[in-house]
Amino acid sequence: MSDPTSAHGSPAASGAAVSASANKLRLGALTALVVGSMVGGGIFSLPQNMAVSADAGAVVIGWAITAVGMLALAFVFQALANRKPDLDGGVYAYAKAGFGDFMGFGSAWGYWISAWLGNVGYFVLLFSTAGFFFPVFGEGNTPLAIVCSSVLLWSVHFLVLRGIKEAAAVNVITTIAKMVPLALFILICVFAFKWSTFTSDVWGLQNPKLGSVGSQVRNMMLVTVWVFIGIEGASVFSGRAEKRSDVGKATVIGFVGVLLLLVLVNLLSLGVMKQPELAALKNPSMAGVLERVVGHWGAVLISVGLVISLAGALLSWVLLCAEIIFSASRDHTMPAFLRKENANHVPANALWLTNGMIQLFLIVTLFSKGTYLSLIYLATSMILVPYFWSAAYALLLAVRGETYEDGRERNKDLLISAIAVVYALWLLYAGGVKYVLLSALLYAPGVLLFAKAKREAGKPVFTGIETIVFAAVIIAALIAAFGLYKGFLTL
């Protein structure tokens, strides 16, 4: 992106500055990116997904713990956006600044893989939902569904090529539109809510399969992680923000709003239907809950809302996918060809690479649905690594006192970042050793791009400590490959 301050006296430069300024994102657009990224398909399946693991009492405890952990992470992104305004690209830039080029590359690479594989999942879920009205789409991976997914994918692609601001404006519209069925669901369920239903077996004691309250809390909290992915959306676009302070505001506003939506949808559903009934629903389970209250039109309303929600989430994540590797390429952590922007300041090559991978894996879903679903779970867990490095960087700044020369807010940020680090570590632990090993298979090939970028910059590929980290990644990848071959690891 050109620097609008580089040649103040030139009329052409002045025009470029005006153009660059016009393409900046305001608070509303940044907030919509956060909300649009988080509110995809997960919220529409939340009642059933939670009821499988826990009853009402454990759900309340789990949401309280998750709210503290994720709010700490939201405050981390807010603090880093304000204290390190020179770092653009969010999760990638923080990992690099704190822990070196290779860690930064790993965050960008893992985030990118997670994001575009998630988009493949959105396409499949979108046309699976359309199958509610048109059975020919089946489970979202029939030949016609893949053809329609491809048409939609490239329509979104060319929309984004017209300009980030224009695409973000469309995202604002779809974000508002998806809120309508969610608001109606909440309003209707408030009046249908029965305290006797909510408390009928509040601790799940009548269902031995749920286990103890502690087990219920642990199991349902794992579900909540996935519905919050996207909390970093504004920080990824920090370089395109009209006001730097808006990045942190958008992150916190978006998080609080989505948290309120998720908790209301989850708890109100438990007051409309009992835990065993919710656990038996098909997804999107919000449709089954509303159908119980108002009849068939409620299921139709939620299905339409899900289609709109997924369309908006697709747009948000296409933007995020391209932006993260574009940001990494600008300071030579990714190869130079990913730095190319078109006349509308859109990272064109990054966008082509991203959507090319989405198209490839859409075709793969025709032949290997099981493997694809397993990769979705693996890729989703990979996003926890960038989250961890961001929290760790915030903690590092607070411990060192960097940017805290006046001493203000240091203790507060030290506590918040420490909570975020502990929460991120717990989530990585909860994922298990299996996913740590399998994720190495996805990290290892990316080293080729990292090495290319380093050679373009005329720098050694690895520092001393990075060589050790790289060796660990390769060893883990080899163990995972051997495990898959022998069968003691499965996708």
The three-point CA angle 170-176-181 to 5° equals 130
Which of 82, 64, 59 has the alpha carbon at shortest distance from 252? Answer: 82
The pLDDT tens digits of the residues spanning 136-165 come to: 888 777 899 899 999 999 988 887 787 656
Percentages (nearest 5) of helix, strand, coil residues in the chain: 75, 0, 25
Evaluate if residue 470 carries a pLDDT over 70. Answer: yes
Q: Considering only 122-126, 308-312, 349-353, which range has the smallest mean pLDDT?
A: 308-312
pLDDT at 317: 75
- Measured CA to CA, the distance from residue 64 to residue 83 in angstroms comes to 28
Quote the pLDDT of residue 353.
92
User: Average pLDDT, stretch 280-301?
Assistant: 86
Average pLDDT over residues 266-281: 92
Confidence of residue 420 (pLDDT cuts 50, 70, 90): very high
Counting every residue written for the chain, the total comes to 491
The answer to whether the beta carbons of residues 48 and 281 sit under 8 Å apart is yes
Q: What is the pTM of this model?
A: 0.78
Q: What is the pLDDT of residues 101-128, one digit of tens each?
A: 898 898 888 888 888 887 887 788 788 7
- Report which of residues 167 and 459 the model is more confident about: 459
**264, pLDDT greater than 90:** yes
pLDDT band at 488 (very low <50, low <70, confident <90, very high): confident
Confidence grade of residue 90 (pLDDT, cut at 50, 70, 90): low
% residues pLDDT > 70 (the chain): 84
Report pLDDT for 371.
Answer: 47
For residue 16, what pLDDT band results from cuts at 50, 70 and 90?
very low
pLDDT exceeds 80 at position 248 = no
Cα torsion through 108, 114, 120, 125, rounded to 10: -140
Quick one: pLDDT at residue 140? 78
What would the mean pLDDT of 352-356 be, rounded to a whole number?
92
Band (18; pLDDT cuts 50, 70, 90): very low
Given a cut of 60, is residue 389 above it in pLDDT?
yes
Amino acid at position 339, single letter:
R
Q: Tell me the mean pLDDT in the region 370-383.
A: 63
DSSP 86: T
283 vs 91, higher pLDDT: 91
What average pLDDT does this structure show over 383-404? 89
Predicted local distance difference test score (pLDDT) of residue 91: 77
Q: How far apart are CA 264 and CA 267, in angstroms?
A: 5
Q: Of 472, 466, 477, which Cα lies nearest the Cα of 96?
A: 466
Other Cβ atoms within 10 Å of 420 Cβ, number: 27
pLDDT in the model for residue 4: 33
Query: Once rounded to an integer, what is the mean pLDDT over residues 39-65?
Result: 85
Q: If you average pLDDT over each of 37-51, 75-89, 330-344, which comes out highest?
A: 330-344
The answer to whether the beta carbons of residues 33 and 250 sit under 8 Å apart is: yes
CA 44 – CA 179 distance, rounded (Å): 12
Q: Where are the beta strands (DSSP E) in 138-270?
A: none
Q: How confident is the model at residue 397 (pLDDT cuts 50, 70, 90)?
A: very high
pLDDT-based confidence at residue 19 (cuts at 50, 70, 90) = very low
Report residue 377's pLDDT band, with 50, 70 and 90 as the boundaries.
Answer: low
- The candidate with the shortest Cα–Cα distance to 331, out of 93, 130, 137, is 93
| Domains located in the chain, CATH noted | 24-434 (1.20.1740.10)
22-31, 208-217, 405-414, 478-487: segment of lowest average pLDDT: 22-31
**Per-residue pLDDT band at 92 (split at 50, 70, 90):** confident
pLDDT at 391 (0 to 100): 92
pLDDT at 239: 63
Contact 262, 42 (CB under 8 A): no
pLDDT of 468 higher than 80: yes
| Mean model confidence pLDDT for the chain | 81
What mean pLDDT comes out for the span 201-230? Answer: 79
pLDDT surpasses 90 at 443:
no
Over residues 228-257, mean pLDDT: 72
